[in-house]
Amino acid sequence: MSIVMIVYYLISAYLLAMLIWNFYRENKSVDKMLQYILIMIPLILRIFRAK
Amino acid sequence: MSRQLIYKSLLVIIIGCLTFLGGLQLYKHRHFQTPMVAGPSVTQVKKLSDYVPDLKGTMADTNVFFLEGKEPGGKMLVIAGTHSNEPAALLSALIFLENSTVEKGTLIIIPQFNNSGGRNTRSGDGYPLYFQIKTRWGHKKFRMGNRVASPLDQWPDPDVYVHYPDRQLLSYLDIRNTNRTWPGRPNGSLMEKVTYAAMELIRKENVDLAIDVHGAETMFPVTNCIVAPENSLRIATMTSLTLKATEGFDNHVEPSPKGFRGLSHREIGDFSDALPFLLEAPIPFLDQPTGPKTVDLLLEGKDPFLLKLSKKGKLFVPYDEQGWPISKRVGQHCSAVLEIAKQFSRRNSEKALKISHVPRYADVVNNGVGFYYKDPSKADKKNVFYN
Amino acid sequence: MQKNKIKSMFSFLSLFIFLFMMTGGFNHSQELPKAQFPVLTTSAGQSPDVTTLNIVCEEAGILYDYCDVPDVDMISQGVGLGGQESQPGFHVEIHTNLEQYPEGTHYKTIMFAIGASLKGMGASGLTVDDEVNRLKNIIEYCKENDVFIIGIHVGGVSKRGAPGSDNERMISAVAPYADLLIVTNDSNKDGRFTEISNNNEIPLKEIDYALNLVPLLQEIFNQ
């Protein structure tokens, strides 16, 4: 795997972590909770290389 | 456990289940295998990774079928499935694969060139995941693919695709389009490796003719045609004139533009001694202003919006209530490939190609496409290959 | 009286039949004049139909010179087109048998492949008006120098259009001045070429398919 690809995975992991953190902290808006979950899906699939 | 936590957990579980159910369909589609029965003239089956080892074990690797005649002669490569949302190409290649008797020369067939694209879909456009062709023994099921490779296999895309070697700037998507990555390179992106492998095949096997089979929108001017660069123009023109006169369908000739890089009909000729051709048959399914993208539209090509547009002269092909059925498109491709081989053989007798038992346009239109497919369940297992 | 009437009718009928046969009847398509070498092929409108014409000539064994956008000066240089060479937007091919017709031999026949293409004209740096004027000048030259003009339209319906369209302007620039018109049935669906042929007494040959040009050109050039 090239260094660029490793960096991309690290960026994806960082974004996923931020989304989980924001989802955990979100207590008011159901819309935002749903958005966080939906946006997490491709990042989870990418990091776990689910094909 | 707090109420918030229970609520959020439930949300995650529900979305997770929906994702899993939706994803399962896509997973099955990605891993669905189409059986192909090797015909009487198939002498060996290689892989593209035989020419570029890096492709081994990836979704980009694909079968390459060699049909060698008893007499030596010319070599013709037929590439189908460059764009897997143009199914007439694969269906035509399969007819050649399962039926051809090659008496002289060699026919090389790659039925699913962009194997990754064949396992991709376009859910945002409502593409069907599969389509079926009626055969004499039942139905044969095929994946409906996408124009470009799956991002699961080649990721990420650049902002702009800088084409190798001329550095022409192309759309970012085209880095996954195997009709923009020719001639390719051994250390490039996955699709560049695929086209490089094909170039290596062409050079090492001394291929004389390379035919890339496609479909194009009815509202696009480069449709219902043979695209050919300068060296191939004469054969392409004689093919076009002969098909019109003897088989009654139009297939005009479009010159391959020198300034547009990455396409098979340009780069194959520039980077090898082979004569390239690209065949386009009209596929109404790909047109933008149609109704829902159903299997019927894919196979029959009938659409009320296109009919209205046709009456206003907006289409580049004759179009009526009959639509443009798959049998017509496949028939055109079969006849065009056979005629190109014939016209080449007329001018190069020592490199002639003699292929028989492949139907021409009228036969395919009358009998239907599926008439020519063999039942894989009844075939000898060693002759059944999967793609 | 009765006998005189019959005699007059018989004389009139004979004269009519004689004149009818002399003019070849009302059907100008029966006549197939012969053309001579050396021959130049060119385009009227810059559509790819001229490539079809060139390839058909090769199939028919007709050795020709080709230039897509010659002007009168170039044509007057004759075979070899005065040493002109291809460059972007300008194409020249010399296939004439130079032993038989050395460089500089005046062309005896010019064949125009009629069909408009804005892409083709643009590539040569021409507007539609430029192309029409270029054709007018060449036609004038041909008439002054007794060059046999063959107008060929095999592009079918796609190379026709509404009155005044680019395709129709190319037809108007060449067809009425030709010495022979060859068209496919598709190209002449509306009968425009028949009308031009009748109005200008130009022999018209209709063919079913462009491929039929091969034996036809062989006949016209005595190959």
pLDDT for B1-19, tens place per residue?
688 889 899 999 999 999 9
Q: For residues B172 and B240, what is the distance between their CA atoms, to the nearest angstrom?
A: 34
Give the mean pLDDT of B126-143. Answer: 97
Tens-digit pLDDT profile for residues C60-105? 999 999 999 999 999 999 999 999 999 988 999 999 999 999 999 9
Q: Could you tell me the pTM of the whole model?
A: 0.88
Q: Which residues pair with B160 in a beta bridge?
A: B171
pLDDT at C48: 87
**Chain C and chain B touch, per 3+ beta carbon pairs within 8 A:** yes
pLDDT at A2: 81
pLDDT at B113: 98
What are the C-alpha distances in Å from B191 to residues A23, B27, B194, C203? 37, 21, 5, 57
What are residue B266's phi and psi, to 5 degrees?
A: -100, -55
**Which of B1, B5, B15 to mutate to test binding with chain A, by most A CBs within 10 Å of its CB?**
B15
pLDDT at B231: 93
Give the mean pLDDT of B51-78. Answer: 97
Beta carbons of C68 and C91 less than 8 angstroms apart: yes
pLDDT band at C29 (very low <50, low <70, confident <90, very high): very low
- CB distance from A6 to chain B under 8 Å? no
pLDDT band at C119 (very low <50, low <70, confident <90, very high): confident
Q: Do A23 and B156 touch (CB under 8 A)?
A: no
| Whether pLDDT at C22 is above 70 | no
Between B360 and C30, residue with greater pLDDT: B360
Nearest chain A residue to B2 by CA distance is: A27
Q: For residues B32 and B129, what is the distance between their CA atoms, to the nearest angstrom?
A: 10
- Compute the nearest-CA separation of B2 from chain A (Å): 11
| Chain B CB contacts of A30 below 8 Å | 11
Tens-digit pLDDT profile for residues C136-194? 999 999 999 999 999 999 998 888 988 999 999 999 999 999 999 999 999 999 999 99
Least Cα distance to B314 among B215, B240, B217 occurs for B217
Comparing CB atoms, the residue among B234, B250, B252 nearest residue C55 is: B234
pLDDT at B287: 97
B271 burial (CB, 10 Å; 0-12 / 13-18 / 19+) is middle
pLDDT at C217: 96
Q: For residues C59 and C213, what is the distance between their CA atoms, to the nearest angstrom?
A: 10
- Compute the nearest-CA separation of B142 from chain C (Å): 36
Count other C-beta atoms under 10 Å from residue C142's C-beta: 21
Any idea what DSSP says for residue C87?
Answer: B
- CB distance from A38 to chain B under 8 Å? yes
Give the mean pLDDT of B267-281. Answer: 98
Least confident of B119-123, B260-264, B375-379, C85-89: C85-89
Tokens for C210? 């462009």
Tens-digit pLDDT profile for residues B100-109? 999 999 999 9
Tens-digit pLDDT profile for residues B221-250? 899 999 999 999 999 999 999 999 999 998
Give the mean pLDDT of A8-25. Answer: 95
What are the C-alpha distances in Å from C73 to residues B151, C76, C134? 59, 5, 11
Q: For residues B186 and A12, what is the distance between their CA atoms, to the nearest angstrom?
A: 28
Give the mean pLDDT of B353-369. Answer: 98
pLDDT band at B200 (very low <50, low <70, confident <90, very high): very high
| Whether pLDDT at C12 is above 90 | no
